[in-house]
């Protein structure tokens, strides 16, 4: 099973918390978390995990790099930690798509 996307999302979100990361990292973070959230929204929908559909859809909107939402650093730290928890719990709830052989 492929858990790479949520694990990378967790790592990237935890790395984003310390002050002093370059601005480019946060742009990359927005793109990756938005994509990972959209992907998990799809998986959640396919597996009828409605609560996760809404949570990941909200994360995709919050981290949207095209129309960014600007919030204070303190609020982003809280959102990052909540996102880590959501991605971590999803590891046990949402089954990834098995690769074709």
Domain carrying residue 10: 4-93
- Domain membership of residue 98 (yes or no) is no
pLDDT tens digits for range 87-99: 999 999 988 776 6
- Domain membership of residue 99 (yes or no) is no
> What pLDDT is recorded for position 1?
40
Residue 95 C-alpha from the chain's centroid? 16
> At a CB cut-off of 8 Å and minimum separation 6, what does 93 contact?
49, 52
- Domain membership of residue 58 (yes or no) is yes
For the chain, how many structural domains are there in total?
1
What value does the CA radius of gyration of the chain take, rounded to a whole number of Å? 13
pTM (2 decimals)? 0.89
pLDDT tens digits for range 39-87: 999 999 999 999 999 999 999 999 999 999 999 988 999 999 999 999 9
């Amino acid at each position: 099973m492929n858990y790479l996307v949520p694990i990378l999302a967790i790592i990237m979100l935890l790395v984003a918390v310390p002050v002093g990361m370059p601005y480019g990292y946060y742009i990359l973070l927005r793109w990756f978390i938005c994509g990972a959230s959209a992907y998990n929204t799809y998986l959640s929908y396919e597996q009828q995990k409605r609560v996760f559909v809404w949570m990941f859809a909200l994360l995709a909107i919050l981290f949207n790099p095209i129309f960014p939402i600007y919030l204070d650093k303190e609020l982003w730290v809280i959102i990052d930690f909540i996102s880590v928890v959501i991605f971590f719990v999803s590891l046990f709830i949402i089954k990834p798509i098995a690769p074709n052989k």
